[in-house]
Structure 1
């Protein structure tokens, strides 16, 4: 909530109102629900000697990651276009400091928006490459088992 304070008396009045709200408005914290299992991977281990993978669910998860990769790439492109322009000068006493902070926060240096987006893209690329390796290994093993069963 943003409130414009018009003087010392107004500030005191606002403080009293907030203190009254804090005392009168005690909020009961919500109870934490039981785990629902949402987001659990479709990997089942039975007996500890094999792992069964639901290939359609796995492929759907990989395509979701591909979609998110495209979203991050679009955001990075937008950041490259929009954050290269300097922040316009304001008339307030903090305008110069805001312009400098905006330049740092939007830039490629550590802590900047573009740096963070590139870091996310690098991590997502590593995850996607790992998942591709898992899928390829699983498909190769399924083919080997299919060929072995076909010979028997």
Structure 2
């Protein structure tokens, strides 16, 4: 399968820093003889440390986002995925638009009309996806701003 840029942007630890795919995880040890392979819940390896909460998380299960990381993620998604969508629009508008409806015979009139409508629909769909991408980035920025404001307002001040 090919290189999936969107998957790398969304799932890599630092989206803007490393556009290369993440390395594959190492192979897991074989299952003990008493358990069926591939079934059940995997148990941690004997020397592995117990799972820990993220650095900003509280013991109550609270989810905490680092506002600057959230903003950087939104900007990286908009930049990288936006470039992919713009490239797709460019490719759609070059070659397929060159075939005009009059290139079809008189017997293919309905095909000619359907062809032009499909090209226009795909173009409008890509435009809408770019708008949604910008909206997604704006929402990530607002979430970061809300997280920052909540942290600021919930912090006790030292001198009263």
- Structure 2 length-normalised TM: 0.47
Q: Which has the higher helix share?
A: 1
Larger relative CO (CA 8 A, sep 6+): 1 or 2? 2
- Structure 1 length-normalised TM: 0.49
